[in-house]
Structure 1
Amino acid sequence: MRYLVRDRVLAFHEEAWIETEHREKIYKVNRKLLRLRTTFTIVDTHGHQVASIVKKAFTLHHTILVKRDGWPEARISKRAFTLFGDRFKVTLNDGRRLRITGNLWDREFDIQHEGTTLAHVSRRWFTMRDAYAVDVLDPEDETLMIILAVCVDHTLQDRKREQLANR
């Protein structure tokens, strides 16, 4: 199934709506800015929290923790410096390890487990700058794949802002 993520930046807050391919809103991502640690919450249309996402500050690797129902579900990490392109590693609480690879700067990447693609993320089909599609190929982990795509996208946005600020 295909999902659409649309970002909106407001004054001291950032939010994104996640919709089905039929434009039905299912989740909202709230991001709190101007904090030492970047935090997100993903809520459903009734306001119930689906997941919380915390970007750890002061780590050697970019590390994000995903919690659902108050329990850790995933740890996403990316090395600050790599020789052979950008890659994210995801460790799930059930022991599975996922890889996120592709052309991350253009937001064209796959989420894979042992060589099998679970989801594909793409901005290719959108003329809007702040929208991208998440094609989930494994219906068992739909929500988790959407959460991982949002985490990677926000990490890449933060890195671009840091690089522009350092110029």
Structure 2
Amino acid sequence: MKRLFIKQKLFSMGEKFTVKDHTEKDVYYVEGSFMKIPKTFSIRNASGEEVALITKKTFSFLPKFLVEVNGQEVLMIRKDFSILKPRYTIDAANIEVRGNWWEMDFQVLRQGKVVGYVSKKWFTWGDSYEVQILDEEMEKIIVAIVIAIDCVKADQANASTIHTSS
């Protein structure tokens, strides 16, 4: 089992952060597009090669986030129409996210088999997540899922702020 840690820095204008292993060594570098449309997050390995890309679709009625790993779309997170409380759906072939993904406490399954666990670390500055990888073949996908869900949550928080301050 491999453990990775994702810790976003508070007040990072460029939206840059790293994914570290249990020895604090940088494994992935994440960089968000700043003031660009469409909004993207690029995930690069230690060699600087892009291994995943998360893109917020700009021209859709409700928000959608596409996740590509190694150039192939692996999943989409889309907001469902709801009146009272925001609801989202994760669409992915052979991949399932089970648990409370809105609170970042969930399992990732591939064809019914658990391949990873994600849990939020509390009482830290910024958002921190521990990711346990059971199937190393799924590592990039699981890291991309965590970052994509975090993007969706941030987007929802920003939308709530805009609507309540108007």
**What TM bracket, shorter-length normalisation?**
0.7 to 0.9
Separation of aligned partners in 1, 2:62 and 2:3? 30
1:15-26 correspondence to structure 2 within 5 Å? 15-26=16-27
Name the Cα RMSD after superposition: 2.5
Separation of aligned partners in 1, 2:105 and 2:126? 14
Match for residue 151 of structure 2 among 144, 149, 154: 154
1:28-43 correspondence to structure 2 within 5 Å? 28-43=29-44
Partner of 2:5 in structure 1?
A: 4
DSSP-derived class of the 1:166 partner: helix
Shift of 1:115: 3.5
Give the direction of change, closer, same or farther, for the CA distance of 1:125–1:22 in structure 2 (3 Å limit).
Answer: farther
1:12-70 superposed Cα distances (whole Å, 9 cap, x missing partner):
x101200112211111100013223111111122322222221111324532223345x
DSSP-derived class of the 2:8 partner: strand
Percentage identity across aligned positions?
24
Asked whether the equivalents of residues 126 and 132 of structure 1 are also in contact (C-alpha less than 8 Å), the reply is no
Partner of 1:80 in structure 2?
A: 80
Shift of 1:84: 9.7
- Structure 1 unaligned runs (5+)? none
Asked whether the equivalents of residues 78 and 88 of structure 1 are also in contact (C-alpha less than 8 Å), the reply is yes
TM-score, normalised with respect to structure 2: 0.81
> How many equivalent pairs are there?
161
Asked whether the equivalents of residues 32 and 40 of structure 2 are also in contact (C-alpha less than 8 Å), the reply is yes
- Structure 2 unaligned runs (5+)? none
1:1-167 correspondence to structure 2 within 5 Å? 1-8=2-9, 9-11=11-13, 13-69=14-70, 71-81=71-81, 86=87, 88-91=89-92, 96-124=93-121, 127-167=124-164
Separation of aligned partners in 1, 2:42 and 2:49? 10
